[in-house]
Structure formats: structure tokens, C-alpha cells
Structure 1
């Protein structure tokens, strides 16, 4: 049937090796040979019956009632737990793995009054050399005010060359108007790194956006810098990190924990009862630039998912892990990826769950923070007055939390059903 790209276990989890898996597909004589979507629908149904983590909880359906794999997935999804399975084109999916997409190269968020703000800008963005940074407010696009209802369409199609004129308000209250065209953006996943000196402690501070193919070199550079600086504490900012490649997850966990966890159990994959032979244990690796930390502070939000949650949950048996911000997104499960034999589809259904060395997982409602604070989108990541960083510094200084909550309201759980959700940027 389909070729399984055993994507290094995908949470979004991706590329580990290539394994051919032949599932009991429908006979090609059963469908019209000139209708690839029907053929793809049928192979997807067979796939779900074998590999879907909740195959035994799927509703009974008549597959002939659905014309495409996308329609069938919507009918088969096990709710409320599966907020994540999706289908994309092969090229779109591969671009996400590589950290590439078509756009302007920035992330955004709305404040409590409905104003949109820049929350990060990738270095490959045409806006980066123009000086656009986190903390700039988007006033208008092509003369129109942005709202939460039109944000998905106001920037136009995701095609190279699509131009938009964007009016910004800078932190100094200056108006800046820039006309810029969409292009293929190569994400940098380390958005910021620096060293903080706090009460005699040398604190590594890393803002990490995603576990992608380019991340290994970026993390090597960042942790080489931290190691040379003598870092003995760490603030890891994962507030905008939706997950990614499992090899990068293992790398980051190993760089944080160090020699005390070398070759010890990091986490386990557990599959449905048809696929228990694929259950697997993943151990920490020995890394020369590991920091050998005993504790870790992680800044989180509802946009902190899967691989990011593995870092939190699966380091807890070995380190004192403290979380600050909002509850995480709640994705203790992951996916494999199958390419259709008949049409341009990448099938990405939930295929396994993750537990730590203590057997703990199932955080579908998210991992609750030890201290709550709002994402202060008006301030730079290294601004010590930024609410979450300020709380982390308070904890490192005093060993307790400030108790400041301000206007904090925890955000609801989100669905991540499309490739746009995985990209997380414009």
C-alpha cells in the first residue's frame, strides 16, 4: 500500500529511516483506476485500521460515503483526544520537516484588545534586515485593519512573489511602512540565545522555536557558547515551539542533562495492540557540550507541544524541572508519515504515545505551569521586564515564585489539524 517513512518518530516526528510497510490494501480492481483520490481514500482507510493509535475507537463508517482521504479522516478522528492527525501534500510536508515555508517570515499574536503584534522574525525574512522585531505592532495590511477573523486571508495566497504593504508601530511609537513580497523562508529555530548573570549564577537562556533538521547545528553552536561561558543553570523558552524531529529532541535533552543520564532511559514509544513490536525505548546520548544541569526552568504556553512536552515530562525523573507561563498544548502522542501510492498525499495520523522513565504521560489537557504568567508580547526575549523571563529570574534568585498573576487567563486547548498550524508563522 503506502510507503512508511518512519520519520524519526514524529510528534510532528520525522525522518529516521525508510521502512517499507505493506498493509492489506484494497484490490485495485475494486475502484475506478482513473480516480486517484478514491484509491488514496481506500489505502488511507486500511492504514487507519492498522496503525491509528485509537483504531479500536474509530466510529463505524461506510467508506463509500467519503470522496477524499481528508473527508474520511474527519469522520474517523477519535475525539476529543485527536486534535492532531492531518493530511498534506508530500512537498508541503517535506518542507515543514526542513523548516521551510512560503511567507513573510514572522510569527504573530493578538493582545487582549485584539491588536496583532510581531512575536518573532526569522533571520531569512525580508523584514529582518528592515529591523522588524518582536514587540512591533501590526497596524494595517494593504490599508486594512487586521482582526482575528481575517488574519488567515489578509496576507493573500502562500505563493512566492505575493506582495503586501504592512504598516507597523515600533516600540518607540514610530510608524514604519514596508512593502514586502512572500518568499521561501528557511526558519532558524534558535530565535535567541544569551547568558544571564543572576545572583552569582551563570544562566543559559535559549528561545527555541522548533525541532527541525537545521536545529542540530544551531543547538551545537548555542550549547558550545553556553559551555564555554560556564553555564550552570538554564532558562529554556519553548513558548512558541510546536515540536519536531525526535533525534533533535534526544539531542536537546542530552545537552541539558549530561553525564548523569548518559545511556539512561529518556522515554518510551507505545503503539496500539496490533503494533506492539514497534514499541521502543530511547536513551540519552553522550554529548560533549552537555551542561550537566540538575535543574531546568521552561517557559511554556498553549503553543508548546509534543517534542517540547517530551523535554519537560521526560527530564522530570532526573532533573528539577520548573515550568512558567501557561499550560502546554497537550500532545503526549506522535505520528508516522505515509506517502500515498496513488495521489499527492502525506498521511500523518496519530500512531503512538510517549511516556517517561516513570511511566508518566497522557497529559492531553496540557502540563500545568508551576507559576502562571502572560506572554508579554510587547517586550523582547532578553528584556528582564518581560513577564515570563522576569518570573524565571525571580525564581532563580529566591527559590520561590513571586505570586504575580496580573490579568493572566489560561488559554483554551487548540486544534492542530493542518500544515498551517504546524508552521505557526506567516
Structure 2
């Protein structure tokens, strides 16, 4: 989640609203919300710019942490920045204690102001436009999702396809198993090349159409937060009408399709909803709050959606978000939230917010979620294009519950275990998680998601970046680079 701020005087700032990467100026915190994934590499900054030497940037980052960090007691009394080759590594070292306590799993990081704002305002990023996952053996690479108006889908490559080999030309293709055997999963992200427009790779693909070789070039594209193909639909199940919405990420362009989807549900009198957040790593708090409002037609404006709490010295910044029903809002009687280990931050905020109101009528379907009940503010050093994302606040629901660092599986009152079946499109009633969501809404029995649903390997990925961030259920793990970009943080598995 990312919360937006507006600087007012000097270092003072007030909470101006919710938003995920927005904000500007180095005088005070800019907007931010909780996000969940390992730290991206900042855009290289010319050291000739005044105030932008490595040491000056490191000292600036340390000062911001000492002022705003949610866990100040974990910061070292002093830490020499000299041995660290960049600002990101120094920030990792400063936050190592909280990370070891599982309270800050690389949620505090340095990124580029320019690149982050391009993503949150328009979904802009560069890539093939696919989401990738590895099977549990780490030897098979699958496409779990392909995004509209991006190179892969334009070439006919979609969910369910397997990537057999990767090369820069057809003459030097290397099999996925050979790459992983030699270099581990990091070798796959290296083989796929940098996230810059123009990067070209040759892929050997196997799917329902057979085995073939395709050449894809990474381009700049705008990620559509709600798919035009399967993002919104009404599913008829046993005579019951169920509204289905798949939200890929919480960014500003999500507002219009979200409003349109719930207007459709409202017009049809639908009160049973499936909210598919299975790969949604988070984003703007403002969009998370909108999702809450769109499912809050029967909530009063005095009822709490969430509480935001800073450390004691910053308590003046604490905030309470009340429900604000919208013209498109519905009053759900039963909601199925589809989640996995890639479901984090703003996604978890929405799920947690409805537990005190819907109780066992709000179910978690699929697998355990990531576990990120904290959020970042954005602190900017514009001359250096540095944005420091600092874990500065925690969130709670109306019942003051928010300690879900191990995911929401043990916090929800109802859950149903299900796999992520890439053999079918997202939102297809035959797909395992969608089917389980429909069964939950119908009141059919299911197997509850266990507290240990997250595998040791996936949890290690979440904490230590030693293996990819993975889904908690099923045979695959979302592939993550060692230092993901902002889009890869909020859309885990994105390449």
C-alpha cells in the first residue's frame, strides 16, 4: 500500500490522502501505501549533481529513516556507509534487524521518482507484458498471465503457455532447466534481459497450439489494471448471479473500470461478489479505499474502513478512514476473496477491512496471503531522482486487528483451499480457485487454508530474496528478480 502526502512547511507534512507512489519534493513525506516485495535498483544518478554523491545520498536516507521509520528501536546506533556500494544496500543494512523480525521484509527501499510515478499514474512500464511462475522443482517456467496491448499477447502468447528455452537468437537458445541448473532462478531473470524498451529475446513456447519459437521485443506499455478480456463478468452458477472482478494492481487508472464493474453489479441486483486478488501485490491506498466503498452500500459514514497508525512521535499523522458509499456501491451478502502468496499490501488491507462486518461471509479462497500490515510513505530527493520508501505506519481494521505478518489465513473466519489452475482463463468457472469461490458463495463445504499453507521456500523468497516470491498453494512460484522494479513489486511475476 502506498499513501499520498502533501508537504506544507519545512519538514512538516499532513496526510493528504491515499495513493501509492505519488508525492513530490524532499521537504517532507510524499504519498505512499504498504507494498510487498524486495527492493528495486535505483536509477543511476550522476554524482556530479550537487548533493548527489553516494555518501550524501546515503546520509540523507539514514536521516529519513531515523525520523520516520516505524521501528526506530531496530535501527543501529551508527553504521558506516563506506562499505556499501549503493544507497539500496545501505538501506538494507540499516533495516536488517526489523527484516530479521519479519516486520520489514525489504519493504523499505530506494527507487526512482520518475519511474514510480509513471507506473502509479498510468501503469507505464517496459517489458514483454507477461507474468511468470516456476513449478516447485524450479525446472519449468510458465506464463500465468499475459497483459493486453503488450508484446507477448500480441504474438499469441497467453496464460498456460510454457517457456521451454530462452536466447538472444534462435542459435543460442538455452533450455529453462539448463539455465536453472547452472545459475538458479536468478539465471532466468538474467536470461530474459533488462527491463528496457528494445530488449529482444527468442523464446521457445509450448501451448495448446503446439511448440514454436517466437521473437519478442520489450516495449513501453500501460498495464491495464482490470483486464478487458476477463476483468469483469457476471457468472451464472446454479441459478445464482455472481459478480466477478479481477484487479491486477491498485493504480489510478483502476478507478473507472472498478466503478463501471460495480455499477453493472448494482444494476443487476448482485450481492454475491468474487474479488480476485491472487497476483495483486498492492499499490495505492486510495484505490483500496475505493474498493471498500464500492462494497459498502450498507455501511454508514461513521463506520471504520481502516485505522492508520504511525510511531509515537508521529502520532499527529494517524488517520481513520471511514466508509464513503458511492453511487455505484453494492451491499454484499457474501464475498469470496481469491488470494495467494502474491496477494499483499493494499489487497490485504481490503480483505482485512471486511472481516469485522461480514465475518464468515467474507472468505479467503486459494492460499494464504503474503502478510504485510504496514505501509510506506515516500520521501524524495528530487535532484538525485531518489525516492525512499519508508515503512512508517501500520494499518488495522475496525476491530483494531492488523497483526497479520504471517498472512490472513488465520485471521479470516472462513477460507477454502484451492489451486491456481493455469489450464483455464482467469474467472472461468472451471478454473480451480474460481470454482472454489463459487462453491463458497453457494455454501458448499471446503478444506480450510492452514496456517502453514505458505511453504518454507516461498517464505524464504518473501524474506530473503533467495528464491522467487511464490504462491502459497499450487505447484508454482511467481518469478521475481533479485531487485524488482516498482511494477514488479506491485505486479509480482511481471516481465
Is the shorter-chain TM-score for this pair beyond 0.5, marking a shared fold?
yes
Match in the other structure for 2:280: 241
Pairwise CA RMSD: 2.7
Aligned to 1:167: 204
Pairwise CA distance, 1:335:
0.4
Match of 1:115 in 2: 140
Match of 1:323 among 364, 367, 379: 364
1:95 aligned residue: 118
- Equivalent positions of 1:20-419 (< 5 A) are 20-21=27-28, 36-67=53-84, 68-77=86-95, 78-79=98-99, 80-83=102-105, 84-98=107-121, 99-113=123-137, 114-142=139-167, 143-146=173-176, 147=180, 148-170=185-207, 172=208, 174-191=210-227, 192-319=231-358, 320-368=361-409, 370-397=415-442, 399-403=443-447, 410-411=454-455, 412-413=458-459, 414-415=462-463, 418-419=484-485
What are the Cα deviations for residues 100-146 of structure 1, in whole angstroms up to 9, with x where unaligned?
Answer: 21101110112235321111111121222333221122222222222
Cα contact 1:234–1:297 (8 A) shared by 2 = yes
Q: Which TM-score applies when normalising by structure 2? A: 0.77
1:197-256: per-residue Cα shift (whole Å, max 9, x none)? 123321011111110011111212222222233322011110100111111111111112
Structure 1 residue 15 and structure 2 residue 22: aligned?
Answer: yes
- CA distance, structure 1, for counterparts of residue 431 and residue 405 of structure 2: 28
Distance 1:316 1:62 in 2: 42
Of 340-349 and 307-316, deviating more is 340-349
Partner of 1:29: none
> Does structure 2 retain, via aligned residues, the 8 Å contact 1:9–1:16?
no
> Which residue of the partner structure matches residue 28 of structure 1?
none
- Residue by residue over 1:29-79, the C-alpha shift from the partner in whole angstroms, topping out at 9 and shown as x without a partner, is xxx967622111112111111100001221223344455432321121122
Residue segments in structure 2 that go unaligned for 5+ positions in a row: 1-9, 30-48, 168-172, 466-482
Q: Residues 247-271 of structure 1, C-alpha deviation per residue, up to 9 Å, x if partnerless?
A: 1111111112213344521101100
Structure 1's unaligned 5+ residue stretches are 23-31
Is the 8 Å Cα contact of residues 3 and 339 (structure 1) preserved in structure 2?
Answer: no
Deviation at 1:378, TM superposition (A): 2.5
- CA drift at 1:4: 7.2
* Contact preservation (8 Å) 2:126, 2:195: yes
- What is the SS of the residue equivalent to 1:41? helix
Count residues with an aligned counterpart.
Answer: 411
Once residues 77 and 444 of structure 2 are traced to their aligned partners in structure 1, the CA distance between those partners, rounded to angstroms, is 52
Deviations along 1:142-194, whole A, 9 cap, x unmatched? Answer: 22222434221111122111111222222x25124321211112111113221
Could you say if the C-alpha distance between residues 169 and 8 of structure 1 is closer, same or farther in structure 2, counting changes exceeding 3 Å? farther
* Deviation of 1:15 (Å): 3.0
Contact 1:238 1:300 survives alignment (8 Å)? yes
Shift of 1:341: 5.0
> Residues 348 and 2 of structure 1: is their aligned pair in 2 closer, same or farther, counting only changes over 3 Å?
farther
1:327–1:176 distance in 2 versus 1, CA, 3 Å? same
When residues 273 and 81 of structure 1 are mapped into structure 2, their CA distance, relative to the original with a 3 A threshold, is: same
Structure ranking higher in helix proportion? 2
Partners of 1:342 and 1:208 lie apart in 2 by: 34
C-alpha distance 210-4 of structure 1, shift in aligned 2 (>3 A): farther
Tell me how far apart the structure 1 counterparts of residues 64 and 357 of structure 2 sit (CA, whole Å).
37
Deviations 1:259-289 (A, max 9, x none): 3344521101100111000000011112111
Contact 1:244 1:307 in 2 (8 A): yes
Alignment check: 8 A CA contact 1:5 1:337 kept: no
Gap change, CA 1:201 and 1:403, over 3 Å in 2: same
Change (3 A) 1:237 1:389: same
Shift of 1:5: 10
How many Å separate the matches in 2 of 1:233 and 1:385?
18
**SS at structure 2 position matched to 1:359:** coil
Change (3 A) 1:365 1:17: same
